[in-house]
């Protein structure tokens, strides 16, 4: 780049969130969720509003580089799939509503093998052993309601590093195996924002 007015800016982004979600104020969390949960038409209107403010056609650099930003959004062919029906214990059938199912009061038709070899891995520095045990108690209670047998209600607890996810997962898998002498069936990963469940 040349010219007295030209400059280069560098922005360094930390992995995950620099500010933990749990430390956001109520207003900040509500504002973030409101922005992320916009309806498609509202998001489209917001983008068009910003497009008008930015006025790309009048930007000297874009003109010099021969770049053009079209005001029309990209159109992607799509179709609405028929709503699937899911059958649970006792032949009870549930219909999808707004992209999800209400599982209250139902059990799985075939719950599978009892949960024996598993681990809970926390990548949240503020979510330690005590909080993990509380989560496990809640998780086991819910699974029993749905007919899933928990053979081992006290899985391995591992506090990992969000910057070394692969190593943390390996440690969790190793701890699960050492405890039960069997390959882990599931590793539950607690993230700073939401839990991620990895099935094996």
Domain parsing of the chain, residue ranges: 26-78, 83-107, 118-199
How does pLDDT run across 139-150, given as a tens digit for each residue? 898 888 878 889
**pLDDT level of residue 153 (50, 70, 90 thresholds):** very high
How does pLDDT run across 113-131, given as a tens digit for each residue? 889 999 999 888 777 788 8
Give the predicted TM-score (pTM) of the model: 0.51
Nearest-angstrom CA–CA distance, 91 and 101: 16
H helices within the chain, ranges in order?
26-36, 40-54, 60-65, 129-145, 165-180
pLDDT at 187: 94
pLDDT at 200: 47
Nearest-angstrom CA–CA distance, 150 and 144: 7
């Amino acid at each position: 780049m040349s010219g007295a007015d030209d400059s280069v800016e560098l922005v360094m982004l930390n992995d995950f969130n620099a500010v933990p979600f749990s430390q956001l104020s109520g207003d900040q969390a509500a504002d973030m969720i409101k922005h992320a949960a916009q309806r498609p038409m509202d998001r489209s209107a917001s983008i068009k509003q910003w497009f008008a403010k930015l006025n790309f056609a009048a930007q000297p650099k874009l003109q010099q580089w021969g770049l053009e930003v079209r005001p029309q959004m990209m159109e992607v062919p799509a179709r609405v799939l028929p709503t699937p029906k899911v059958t649970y214990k006792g032949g009870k059938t549930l219909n999808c509503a707004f992209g999800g199912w209400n599982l209250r009061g139902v059990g799985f038709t075939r719950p599978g093998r009892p949960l024996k070899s598993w681990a809970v891995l926390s990548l949240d520095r503020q979510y330690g052993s005590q909080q993990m045990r509380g989560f496990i108690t809640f998780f086991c209670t819910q699974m029993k309601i749905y007919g899933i047998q928990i053979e081992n209600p006290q899985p391995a607890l591992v506090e990992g590093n969000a910057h070394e996810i692969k190593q943390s997962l390996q440690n969790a898998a190793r701890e699960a195996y050492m405890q039960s002498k069997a390959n882990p069936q599931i590793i539950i990963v607690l993230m700073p924002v939401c839990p991620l469940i990895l099935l094996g």
